C-alpha cells in the first residue's frame, strides 16, 4: 500500500504542503491510506480544532457537520484522545456535483479529522476530494474532475492555514 503524508514546508497556500511517499511518523495515531493527507502539528487538539474552523471560513467554505466520540465517551467514564470529524463543503459545489452525478453527493461533506496524539499535539487528516469522488469520475467526466481538483486546492489551503504556526 502506498502512503502519503504532508509535511509543512513553512510557505503560504498550497505550496506549503509537500506530498511524500512515506507513512506518518511512528508516533502518529493516524495512518495514511491511499489518497489521504496527514499533517502533524505542534498545536494541541483544542487549538487545532479552532484553527481548522477559522481556516474553513477564511477559505470561503462552511462547516456542515461535526462529530466526535471524545466528549460522549467522557460522560460514560471512558477517556480517549480528542477526536473530531469536521464536514466541510459549500452549496455551489453541491449543486454542480448533483447536476453531474447525483449519487456522488453521498460523499459530501468532505471530512477532515482532528486527532489528539499521545504527546499532546494534534494531527489533521483527510481524504482528498479527488480521491473521495474518484468512483464517480466515469459518470461525471471532465467537469467532475475539475470540480474535485478545485476542491483539492481549497482543502490543501484550509489544512495549510489551520496547521500553520502563528
| Ordered structural domains, the chain, with CATH | 5-163 (3.30.310.70)
Residue 25 has pLDDT above 50, yes or no: no
Q: Which residue has the higher pLDDT, 62 or 10?
A: 62
25-36: average pLDDT: 61
pLDDT category at 10 given cuts 50, 70, 90 is very low
* Strand runs labelled E in 41-137: 62-67, 83-89, 110-116, 122-127
Q: Say if residue 109 is preceded by a cis peptide, omega within 30 of 0.
A: yes
Q: Which residue has the higher pLDDT, 17 or 111?
A: 111
What are the backbone dihedrals phi and psi of residue 83, each rounded to the nearest 5 degrees, phi first?
-150, 125
Residue 11 has pLDDT above 90, yes or no: no
pLDDT category at 30 given cuts 50, 70, 90 is low
93-118: average pLDDT: 97
20 contact partners, CB below 8 Å, separation of at least 6: 4, 5, 6, 7
Q: Which residue has the higher pLDDT, 7 or 133?
A: 133
pLDDT at 23: 33
pLDDT digits (tens, 9 = 90+) for 85-96: 999 999 999 999
Q: Do 95 and 9 touch, CB atoms closer than 8 A? A: no
Residue 19 has pLDDT above 50, yes or no: no
Amino acid at each position: 500500500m502506498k502512503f502519503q503524508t504532508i509535511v509543512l514546508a513553512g510557505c503560504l497556500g498550497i505550496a506549503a504542503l509537500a506530498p511524500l511517499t512515506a507513512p506518518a511518523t511512528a508516533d502518529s495515531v493516524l495512518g495514511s491510506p491511499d489518497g489521504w493527507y496527514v499533517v502533524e502539528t505542534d498545536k494541541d487538539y483544542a487549538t487545532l480544532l479552532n484553527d481548522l474552523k477559522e481556516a474553513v471560513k477564511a477559505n470561503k467554505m462552511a462547516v456542515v457537520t461535526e462529530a466526535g466520540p471524545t466528549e460522549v465517551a467522557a460522560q460514560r467514564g471512558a477517556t480517549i484522545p480528542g477526536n473530531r470529524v469536521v464536514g466541510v463543503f459549500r452549496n455551489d459545489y453541491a449543486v454542480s456535483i448533483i447536476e453531474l452525478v447525483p449519487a456522488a453527493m453521498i460523499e459530501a461533506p468532505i471530512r477532515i479529522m482532528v486527532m489528539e496524539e499521545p504527546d499532546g499535539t494534534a494531527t489533521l487528516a483527510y481524504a482528498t476530494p479527488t480521491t473521495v469522488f474518484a468512483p464517480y469520475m466515469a459518470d461525471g467526466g471532465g467537469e467532475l474532475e475539475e470540480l474535485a481538483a478545485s476542491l483539492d486546492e481549497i482543502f490543501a489551503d484550509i489544512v495549510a492555514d489551520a496547521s500553520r504556526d502563528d
